[in-house]
Amino acid sequence: MSAKILYGKEFAAKIKESAREQVEELKSKFGVTPGLTVIIVGENPASQVYVRNKHKTCEELGIVSEVVALPEDTNKDDLLAKIDELNANPNVHGILVQLPLPAAIKAHSDEILNRIDPRKDVDGFHPVNVGKLVIGTPDLVPCTPAGCIEMLDLAGIEIDGKNAVIIGRSNIVGKPLLHLLLARHATVTVCHTHTKNLPEIARQADILVAASGKPKLVTADMIKPGATVIDVGINRIAPKKLVGDVDFDAAVDVAGAITPVPGGVGLLTVAMLMKNVVKAARLQLEA
């Protein structure tokens, strides 16, 4: 029997509707309209697409959206000065620096991201927010792993007491998701390039998350029958062909539920960003 397909569009719509309601509440109760400013440096075409998507979603939900487009040759100090200016602006509740940065300042990415006020860090990458997540008192959480949890909840898939295996240990997905799943009482194993017996470990998973960035790494024989498979990978294998980290066509006959690529978790990332902007506005109200 084929798996239930977890299409991101329906889950993203529910998250965005909830965010829209909270925006209206902040406006009516406190006279506050949540605001997001995205800084983009240079002319990266993929980044421009992502930024337009974020801007459009903000407008749909009633969030004030500003895009600060800086030239390719912007130096580190000028970028830090712009972040300082936005940190001090009470009408800006969320600040996001679109990655990757141009080659000339890419080495300073950590310093640049860490300059953002943790209460305005809607990507959830600041060490303060990472630390809060690790000790179990999260404020702003990275959007993609948070979207994975939200999807499981909305799909009615139990996390408590389940064996979860994450393939990938990045700071953006693997590590934050480890702590989110632990907080929900899953038993979590994180696998990576040095893991021995990966297929054997993966087959123990009730919830299997593929976030390695390797096309079709997860094959059908690595999946426990009936398991939930979340594919975070997006790999371009031809000009117009995207695939995930899971061999979807084979896995769909083994898994109980599975996300497609494209059309799966990726659609929840922007929705969770909107949720973070609203949460950031609340945090700043309470400060």
- Catalytic residue numbers read 54, 98, 123
* Interatomic CA distance for residues 272 and 69, integer angstroms: 23
Encoded amino acid at 170, one letter? S
User: What does each C-alpha distance from 144 to 80, 153, 255 come to in angstroms?
Assistant: 26, 14, 21
Strands 235-238 and 241-243: antiparallel
CB-based contacts of 254: which residues, under 8 Å, 6+ apart?
Answer: 3, 220, 223, 225, 227
Pairing type for strands 207-210 and 241-243 reads: unpaired
CB 268 within 8 A of CB 8: yes
Is 277 within 8 Å of 250 (Cβ atoms)? no
Amino acid (1-letter code) at residue 154: L
